[in-house]
Amino acid sequence: MVVGEGTQPQVTRHDVAGTPDGVVLMLHGGTANSLDPVDDRSASWRRSRWMMGQIAGRLHEAGVGVWLLRYQQRGWNAGVASPPSPVPDARWALDEVRRELGELPVVLLGHSMGARTAVAVADHPLVQGVVALAPWLPADEPVAPLAGKHLAAAHGRSDKITSSRQTRAFVRRAETVASSAEFTDMGRAGHYMFRRVARWNDYASSRSLAFLTDARAARRD
């Protein structure tokens, strides 16, 4: 199911039957500066769409729905848009989850720029945690939105697009505010996750489910 049309952000949904126990909201990558629309030819969106198909079955078995956001524009566009372009789109998608499904726990699963976007909107009350794959997290990226939330970040040492060292440093800073923060070295894997595909998929699924399980346990308490 696709929600949204025209120049609006869109979400592609793989829902479970009945009421889900939670939702994984996927946020795809992009580029530093571009006002071009995200269309079906976007490699970043298509990459996350492919991963969505790979992990949806495991998440559905656990009663978890999967949504994939498509931003309006390809770029982060700092200095051009305030807040940066994908951030309002991600907040819109979270509000859509609440409108459609109520107060369900959400985990944000972001790749590259999508991980940066996830961190920026982690302060939304539905968000339980962020799973960041090969994230773009500059040295000055704020950690405050992660206060009381979970963070799991995975990065390959062969990444030439974003920096695994910066990700390690960000995780260390996030430890001061987050409920939990971990870094996983994916070895000699590059930015686009073409190597060790099964491991990337397992990481995305297992960390997302762990954060949602923690949220359900907290609710029971």
Token pair 């995200």 is found at 38
pLDDT level of residue 220 (50, 70, 90 thresholds): low
Cα(1)–Cα(188) distance, rounded to whole angstroms? 36
Q: How many CB atoms lie within 10 A of CB 83?
A: 15
Q: Which secondary structure element, helix H or strand E, spans residue 207, and what is its range?
A: helix 197-220
Q: What is the pTM of this model?
A: 0.95
Mean pLDDT of 120-139: 98
- By residue range, what is the domain housing residue 204? 2-220
CA-based nearest residue to 177, from 217, 122, 131? 122
State residue 217's pLDDT score.
Answer: 72
State residue 221's pLDDT score.
Answer: 58
Please check whether residue 132 is in contact with residue 118, taking contact to mean a CB–CB distance below 8 angstroms: yes
CA-based nearest residue to 124, from 152, 101, 153, 103? 103
The number of folded domains in the chain is 1
Helices (H), 82-131: 86-101, 113-120
Give the model confidence (pLDDT) of 61-84 as tens digits: 999 999 999 999 999 999 888 899
State residue 4's pLDDT score.
Answer: 45
Q: What is the CATH number of the domain that holds 170?
A: 3.40.50.1820
Give the model confidence (pLDDT) of 20-60 as tens digits: 999 999 999 999 999 999 999 999 999 999 999 999 999 99
Q: Cα dihedral sign for 203, 52, 107, 215?
A: negative
Q: How far is CA 170 from CA 18, 30, 63, 116, 174, in A?
A: 38, 20, 31, 11, 6
